[in-house]
Chains A and B, each alone.
Chain A
Amino acid sequence: MNPVLAAHGLVKRYGHVTALNGVDFELLPGEILAVIGDNGAGKSSLIKALSGALIPDEGQILLDGRPVHFHNPADARRAGIETVYQDLAVAPALDIAANLFLGREVRRKGVLGTVFRLLDTKRMEAESSRHMQDLKIGINAMSQPVETLSGGQRQGVAVARGAAFARHVVIMDEPTAALGVKETGMVLDLIREVRERGLPVILISHDIPTVFDVADRVHIQRLGRRVAVVRPGDVDMAEAVAIMAGAAPGKFTGSE
C-alpha cells in the first residue's frame, strides 16, 4: 500500500539543539497511527512539519506520493491536511457552527453573498449539525456558545471541525490530555468514526493505554529519529515504553 503521507530524512535544528535528526514517517490509508515518544523526542516538531507550522531544514514530505512544501498552516489545510490542536483552537464566545466554519464561512448565493457578503447562517448550522451527527456527537443546538460545553464536547467540536474539512489526513495533538475517563472514551469513539469515514488519523499522545486501545500502528520517536513502528498486538505497553526511553532496541513490526 502506498502511504497517504510520508516524510524522508526530516531535519530541524534550533541553534545547537537538533529537534529532528533525520526522521522518516509513513501514514497508510485508512489507519490510525499513533506517534509516541518522551519529551524532547521530536513528536511536536514532526507534527508541526507535517501540518505546515514548521519548515524543516532538510528532508522531503510526500502527500499521495507527490512532494509538497508547506510554508504555513494554511498551505497544509489547502492540501487537505487538518490539524486538531492540543488547546483546541476554538473561540469560546462563538457558537458551534461559527467555530466549525471559522475561516471558511459560507455565503449566500447570488448578489446577497457576493456584493453584501451575507453569511448563510442556516446552511452553516444545518451542515454543522450533519457533521456532528455523522460523528455521533450528541449536541443538538449548533447555536450554543462553545464555552457552555464540557471539555469532552469541546474536543468533539474541534475533532468535528478537523474531520469535516479534511480531505486526506487528520492530525490530532494530545486530544485526550485534559479529559476524564468517560470523555476520553467519547473522543476515542470519535477518532474511530473518523477512520470509518476513510480518513487516516495521526494521533500524538502521552497516554499509552489509550494509544494501545485505538491505534492500528504505533510510531515511536526518540531523540529526533524514528526508532520503531509496531502494531499494538506485537508488543506490550511496557516494551513500548522501554523503546521510548531507550532501554530496549527499536523494532519494525508494523511497516510494510
Chain B
Amino acid sequence: MSETTDTTVAGPTEPARTVPSRLTRFAALPTVGPLAALILSCLFFWVFTDRFMTGGNLSLVVQQVMEVGTLAIGQTVVILTAGIDLSNGAVMAFGTIVMTRLAVTGGVPWPLAILLGVGVCAAFGALNGTLVTMARLPAFIVTLGTLNIAFALTHIYSKDQTVTGLPKALTALGQTFPLGNTDVTYGSVVMLAMFLIAWYVLRHTAAGRHVYAVGDNREAARLTGISTRRLLITVYTVAGAVYGVAGLLLVGRTAVGDPQAGQTDNLDSITAVVLGGVSLFGGRGSIVGVLFGALIVGVIRNGLQLMGVASIYQVLITGILVILAVGVDQLARRRRA
C-alpha cells in the first residue's frame, strides 16, 4: 500500500498585500477631500441662499478667486519642493506697480510694460531660489526677507499713489465674453488655463516628477543625477513669473495699480494650498486640489456675504477649515501607513 506523505513544511507567510479596490484608491486620492468639501459648501449655500447658485454669481466667485488662485499655483509648486513663499503677494503688488507706472507715466508701450512687470516678479523669484539653494537659507526666512523688500520697493516706486488712467490694453483681461446666460472674464479663463498647464507639467512630464522627488527626498533625487539646485531655482523663478501674471489679472479686474494690493495674499494662497490637500512637508498633493481649495475659500466668502454674515466670520470659518483640513489629512495618512 502506498501512502503519500505530505512533506511540505508550513513556511512563514508574507501577509497578503491586497491591491486596494478602485473605490478605495479613488477615495484616497488627495483631491477627493477638497472636492467633497467644495461640493458640500456649494450645496449648503444653494439651500440657504437664493442667489448663490446663479450663473452670474458663480462667475463672480471665480473672478474673486482669480488673484489668490493664480498666486496659489506658484505657491503650490514651491511647497511641493518642501519650500514656502511668503513673498508672493508683495511681489505681485510690485509687479503691478511696475507694469502700470511704466505704461502710464513712463510712456512704455503696453506689451513691454507687461513683460517688464512679469519679468521683475520672475527676478524676485530667481533671487528667492538662489538664496534658498546657494546660501542654503530656509525658504521661510528668505521669502520673509524678499516680502519686506518687495513691499518697500512698491511703496517707494509708487510714492504710495494708486496708478490710474491705464491704457485699455492693460486691462484687456478684465473684459468679458458671454458663456451660457452669464459673462465670463478672460482673466478667469487665463487662470484656469494656467492650472491646466501646471497640472500637465506636474503629472505628465519628467520635470514635474523631479519637483515631487526633490520635495519628498532631496538627497535621493540628487543621487539619481537630478540637478536639484537648477530645479529649485527654476521652480522659484517660474513661481515668480506666475505671481506677475496674477498681477496682470488683478490689474485687469480693478483697472488700477494699487500699492496696497496683495498684503494678505501670501497667507491666503497658503490656505488654498493646504485646503487643497498639498502637504507643507513637500512631495505630496495635487494642484487640482489647490484649485478646489481656492474655490472653497471663495465660495464660503461669497456665500456668507450673500447670507449677510459679517466678513469677520468668513475669516473665522476659514481658520477653522484649515485646521480641520490638516487634521483630516493627518488622520488619513496615519491610517494609510
The residues of A with any CB-CB pair to B shorter than 8 Å are 73-74, 77, 83, 85, 87-94, 98, 102-105, 107, 117-119, 121, 138, 140-141, 144, 147-148, 182
Contact = CB atoms under 8 A, between A and B. Distances in A.
Contacts of A138: 14
A144 B17 CA distance: 11
A94 B216 contact: yes
B19 A140 contact: yes
A101 to B, nearest CB: 9
Contact of B220 (A90, A117, A119, A147): A90
Nearest to B207: A117
19 contacts: A74-B225, A77-B225, A91-B283, A93-B212, A93-B216, A94-B283, A102-B210, A102-B226, A103-B221, A103-B226, A104-B224, A104-B225, A107-B206, A117-B204, A118-B205, A119-B209, A144-B19, A147-B337, A148-B336
B217 interface: yes
Nearest to A90: B220
B160 interface: no
Residue among A98, A117, A138, A148 having the largest count of chain B Cβ atoms under 10 Å: A117
A123 to B, nearest CB: 13
Given A89-B219, A89-B223, A141-B19, A94 B212 contact: yes
B206 A89 contact: no
Q: Which applies to chain A's interface (DSSP): helix, strand, loop or mixed? A: loop
A91 B220 contact: yes
Which of the four size classes fits the interface of chain B?
A: 20 to 34
B308 interface: no
B204 A91 contact: no
A93 B284 contact: yes
Contacts of A73: 223, 225
Contacts of B210: 102-103
A84 to B, nearest CB: 10
Interface in B9-23: 12, 14, 17, 19
Nearest to A51: B223
B204 A102 contact: no
A154 to B, nearest CB: 12
Nearest to A120: B204
A21 B66 CA distance: 64
Interface string B203-238: 011110110110011011101111000000000000
Contacts of A104: 224-225
Contact of B224 (A93, A103, A118): A103
Contacts of B204: 117-119, 121
A121 B204 CA distance: 8
